[in-house]
Amino acid sequence: MRMKVAAVAVAVTVAAYLAWLGWDQQRNPDGTGPYEAWQVAGLALTLAVVAAACSWRSADVAQAMVVAVMMAAALTVPWSIDAATDKTPDANLWPVGAIFLYGGTASGLIVVSLVTRAVWQWTHRHWTPPPPGPLTGH
């Protein structure tokens, strides 16, 4: 896989963060938030689809792992900037949150990449082209 695919995955990760979570900066009146569950689920699904697509296109499992780790880092950086510049009393805990975010995101994306590569290997190992004949045009 070319580095271009990894760069696109990183760019899509940052864009997905901004689209799903980056705009929501206000805590809820009950003190929770700022993100709603649907926002986090949407971001997670978006990243899973991107990781699966990159893993499917990668030449081997190592390339897929590199993309997953890069995507996790690309998500952690803008989240850390948002969290570090927050004006809430618990804003100084952002490094702990960043560690957990990176670890959880990297773990999840690695699992998605491994499962995708396993499916790719299984489908490509068992697939054989049809024999030449009148139906195949050979």
Residue 4 confidence (pLDDT) above 90: no
- The predicted-structure confidence for 14-57, as pLDDT tens digits, reads as follows 999 999 998 887 777 777 778 889 999 999 999 999 999 999 98
| Sequential DSSP letters for the chain | --HHHHHHHHHHHHHHHIIIIIT--PPPTTS--SS-HHHHHHHHHHHHHHHHHHHHHSSSHHHHHHHHHHHHHHHHHHHHHHHHT--STTGGGHHHHHHHHHHHHHHHHHHHHHHHHHHHHHHHHH--PPPSSTTTT-
- The predicted-structure confidence for 73-129, as pLDDT tens digits, reads as follows 999 999 999 888 887 777 788 999 999 999 999 999 999 999 999 998 888 776 666
- The predicted-structure confidence for 6-15, as pLDDT tens digits, reads as follows 899 999 999 9
pLDDT at 23: 85
Entry pTM: 0.84
